[in-house]
C-alpha cells in the first residue's frame, strides 16, 4: 500500500491558555501551560498516522531532551523515524503558543534544527509510485524542492502546504507541486491580493486559480468553518465544513492536510478525501494541543456516520 512521506518541521510546543493574549508591554495571567510535541510537519504526520496508513518522516532534531521527547512521540504513533537526523549544531525547535478564550491562537516559532533539514536527509528513504509526499514552509524551501523533484520522478503525488507564507521558494517547487494547500491569508499573499475571511467562495476560487502553474495541478483553499474549496484549470468544488464548539484552533490546518494525504494514499478521490479531512479537523479543534489533538480513524468515521 502507498505511504505518506512527510518532509517537515518538529517542535516542542509551549502552549499556554489565557482569557486573552497580552497587548504590547502588558502582562496577563494565564490559565494553563503545557509542553507537547508539535510543528507543522509532526502534526501532519501524526494526523496521517492516526488514520491507519504508513507514514515516514524526514527532518531534524537537536541532541537534547526535547528531541528525545519528539522522536519517542513519533515512534509511539507508529511513524518511521529513519529519516530523522539528530544534529549537534542546533537545539530542537520550539513554538510558543498563546490560546485565548475565543480559541484564537498567537504563535512564535524558533526554527533551530528545522532550518538545517537538507535534501540528503531524505536520500535514504524510499519513495515509490503512488506514495504521497508532503511538506510545509517550516524547513528550507530548496530542501523541499529537491524532495519534490525526486518524488515526481518516482511517480509519487506531491502535496505542498505553503505555510507560513514565504517568498523564497524556487520556481521548480511550485511546478513540482501536484496539490497546493493554503488558507485565505496565504492564498491572498501568494496571489498578491487580499482575501477576506468572508469572501464569497466563487471569489476565493477565482483567486486560487491564479496560482496554477501547469496542467494537472489542484489548489485547495481552506476556509475554516466554511470548509475548503478546490480548483483545477477545469473544475471547482466546495466541501462544506462541520460546525463544532472550538476550544483551540492551533493545528487544525495541519490535521486537514495530514488526514487528506492519508486518504489520498489509501486511494480516495480528492473530494472524498477533503470531506474526510474537514471532519478530522473539526474534531481536532475541540481539544487543546496540536500533535496530541489529532483524531483517530474510528473517531472520524463515527462523526461522518453521525
- Active site (catalytic) residues: 254
Q: What burial letters (b/e) apply to 57-66, b meaning 16+ CB within 10 Å? A: bbbbbbebeb
Q: Annotated binding residue at 225?
A: yes
Q: Annotated binding residue at 272?
A: no
Is residue 94 a contact partner of residue 70, using CB atoms and an 8 Å limit?
no
C-alpha cell at 98: 498563546
| Greatest CA separation for the chain | 53
Q: Annotated binding residue at 192?
A: no
Q: Annotated binding residue at 15?
A: no
Q: Annotated binding residue at 25?
A: no
Q: Annotated binding residue at 5?
A: no
Q: Which of 134, 96, 141 is nearest to 117 (CA)?
A: 141
Distance of CA 237 to the CA centre of its chain: 21
Q: Annotated binding residue at 94?
A: no
Q: What burial letters (b/e) apply to 185-210, b meaning 16+ CB within 10 Å? A: ebbbbbbeeebeeebebeebbebbee
Q: Annotated binding residue at 11?
A: yes
Q: Which of 102, 77, 103 is nearest to 10 (CA)?
A: 77
Q: Annotated binding residue at 284?
A: yes
Q: Annotated binding residue at 40?
A: yes
Residues 259 and 276: their CA atoms lie apart, in Å, by 7
User: SS3 string of 10-43?
Assistant: CEEEEEEECCCCCCCCCCCCCCEEEEEEECHHHH
Q: Annotated binding residue at 248?
A: yes
Q: Annotated binding residue at 253?
A: yes
**Which residues participate in the annotated binding site for K(+)?**
248, 250, 284, 287, 289
**Which residues participate in the annotated binding site for ATP?**
183, 222-227, 253-254, 278
**Which residues participate in the annotated binding site for substrate?**
11-13, 39-43, 138, 254
**Which residues participate in the annotated binding site?**
11-13, 39-43, 138, 183, 222-227, 248, 250, 253-254, 278, 284, 287, 289
Amino acid at each position: 500500500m502507498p505511504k505518506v512521506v512527510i518532509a517537515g518541521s518538529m517542535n516542542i510546543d509551549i502552549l499556554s491558555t489565557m482569557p486573552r493574549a497580552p497587548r504590547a508591554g502588558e502582562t496577563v495571567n494565564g490559565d494553563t501551560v503545557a509542553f507537547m510535541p508539535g510543528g507543522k510537519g509532526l502534526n501532519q504526520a501524526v494526523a496521517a498516522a492516526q488514520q491507519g496508513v504508513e507514514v515516514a518522516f524526514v527532518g531534524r532534531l537537536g541532541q537534547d531532551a526535547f528531541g528525545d521527547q519528539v522522536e519517542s512521540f513519533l515512534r509511539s504513533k507508529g511513524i518511521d523515524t529513519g529519516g530523522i537526523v539528530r544534529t549537534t549544531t542546533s537545539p530542537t525547535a520550539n513554538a510558543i503558543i498563546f490560546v485565548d478564550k475565543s480559541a484564537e491562537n498567537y504563535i512564535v516559532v524558533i526554527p533551530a534544527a528545522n532550518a538545517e533539514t537538507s535534501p540528503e536527509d531524505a536520500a535514504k528513504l524510499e519513495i515509490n509510485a503512488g506514495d504521497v509526499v508532503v511538506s510545509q514552509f517550516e524547513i528550507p524551501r530548496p530542501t523541499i524542492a529537491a524532495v519534490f523533484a525526486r518524488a515526481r520522478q518516482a511517480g509519487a503525488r506531491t502535496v505542498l502546504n505553503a505555510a507560513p507564507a514565504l517568498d523564497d521558494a524556487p520556481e521548480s517547487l511550485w511546478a513540482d507541486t501536484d496539490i497546493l494547500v493554503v488558507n485565505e491569508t496565504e492564498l491572498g499573499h501568494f496571489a498578491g491580493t487580499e482575501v477576506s475571511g468572508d469572501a464569497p467562495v466563487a471569489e476565493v476560487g477565482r483567486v486560487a486559480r491564479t496560482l496554477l502553474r501547469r496542467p494537472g495541478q489542484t489548489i485547495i483553499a481552506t476556509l475554516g468553518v466554511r470548509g475548503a474549496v478546490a480548483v483545477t484549470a477545469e473544475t471547482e468544488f466546495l466541501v462544506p465544513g462541520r460546525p463544532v464548539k472550538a476550544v483551540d484552533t492551533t493545528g487544525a490546518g495541519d490535521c486537514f492536510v495530514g488526514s487528506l494525504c492519508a486518504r489520498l494514499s489509501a486511494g480516495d478521490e480528492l473530494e472524498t478525501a477533503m470531506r474526510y479531512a474537514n471532519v478530522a479537523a473539526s474534531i481536532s479543534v475541540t481539544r487543546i494541543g496540536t500533535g496530541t489533538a489529532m483524531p483517530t480513524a474510528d473517531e472520524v468515521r463515527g462523526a461522518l456516520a453521525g
